[in-house]
Each structure stands twice: as C-alpha cells, then as structure tokens.
Amino acid sequence: MNHYVFSRKKHLNQSLPIAPSRKLKITILTVGSRGDLQPYCALAIGLKRAGHEVTLATHENFELFVRKFDLKFAPIAGSMEEFLQSKLLQRLIAGEKLNPYEGDKLLLQQLESAWSACLGSEVIIYTPLATFGYHIADKLGVPCFFADQPVWGEKLTRLGVSPQPIPYKKVSDKTLAAAIEIVLGDKVMRCKAQELGQKIRDEDGVANAIEAFHRHLGLIR
C-alpha cells in the first residue's frame, strides 16, 4: 500500500472508486505527528465512500481531528505533543541511554490499545511508526497493508524535485540547512516541483489507492 497525500478538499467530490464485491471492516493504525495522520484520513474517507467500515486508530489528542471527517476513532496510548515536550525526549536528543523499561512501558500501552482497536477487523493498514500492526494482523489471521512513506524521498529525488534524502543518523542542523539551500536555490528543481504539484492536484490519488487496495484483495477485476 502506497502513501497517498490528501492535500485538497476537492478530492472528496471526485469520482467514486469502483464498487467492491464485498464490504470490509478495516482498521488503520497510525502513530506520530499530525503529518503522520492526515494522509490516512484521506485514505479512510476513500475507503468509507467505497462502502467499507473504517476505524482510524491513533493518539487520543487527535480524536477531534479524526471525527471532524465523520470517521470512526479508536485511541492509541500516548500523545505525540506531550512526548515532544517531555524530558524523556530531551534526554534522548542529548544522547542519554535510557532504561529500557521507560520506552517499553509506552510501547506496551500502545500495543494493548492497538490490539483492542483491531479486534473484529478484516483488514489492517499500518504506518511505519505502527509496525506492531503486522504482528496484530498475524495474530488475528487477517491481511494487512504497510502504508509506506520513506520510499517517497528516493522517488522525489529521481524525479528531480528534491535533494537526496538525509539518512536519519545524519540529520542535523547543518544537513537540513544544506538541503533547504538546494531547494531554494535550484530554479530547475522548483519548476519541476511546481509541475509535479499540478499533476498531483489534477489526479484523484485517493480513488487510485482504493482501486489498488480492492484489486489486491480480489474485490474487483
């Protein structure tokens, strides 16, 4: 399952996806920031429009954001906003080695809440920071889809609209500043990015994602 970006409200009014032969109960697991959540709200809306019963499981502090799209919500333990302001994160940034229990405690809470959210699901879609979705799906004996994000960095580079992705271990103020300088100073790259942006705005990415999802499960021919 690829990562489709929901950028404009007009996509909600575009063509309906091909009707599947069967309606499914689907749970989408995503943890992280709002940027990790918003694209999957679009996917959830598309799946719901196709007739499926969709639940979006994410941090409790995003409940109102999810529900404003008239989507079912299930809580996953932990608040990313609280974590970003926590002393624990500051210690991690400082390079301090933490007691494994400190990280394991939150992970166990997330596993328990994600498990509860997925009970009764027929398909599970999970994102890079919610890889426990694979193990939950395996335990429940249901198919799962990995909603991939990192692959897009390489694709954008090949299209000439982005500098090389920065490996996580090499992210710093200097490497980020250098990448920003490339983007701002390369007129050809900016022109290509504008052209690509227009193509994305002109297509119905959500409908394409739903069709690929249905075809993979054999729900349409």
The domain of 31 spans 9-149+204-216
State how many domains the chain has.
1
Specify which of 4-8, 133-137, 153-157 reaches the highest per-range mean pLDDT: 133-137
Q: Which two tokens stand for residue 208?
A: 């394409």
Asked whether residue 107 is domain-assigned, the answer is yes
Distances (CA, A) of 3 to 6, 37, 164, 181: 10, 11, 19, 27
The pLDDT value recorded for residue 1 is: 37
Asked whether residue 172 is domain-assigned, the answer is no
pTM for the complete prediction?
0.71
Asked whether residue 126 is domain-assigned, the answer is yes
Q: Which residues contact 152 (CB under 8 A, 6 or more apart)?
A: 3
For 81-113, the pLDDT digits (tens) are 666 666 665 665 566 665 655 556 777 888 899
CB-neighbour burial class of residue 186 (10 A; exposed 0-12, middle 13-18, buried 19+): middle
Percent of the chain with pLDDT over 90: 32
**The pLDDT of residue 151 is above 80:** no
CATH code of the domain covering residue 109: 3.40.50.2000
Q: Tell me the helices (H) and strands (E) count for the chain, helix number first.
A: 10, 5
The pLDDT value recorded for residue 109 is: 85
Asked whether residue 171 is domain-assigned, the answer is no
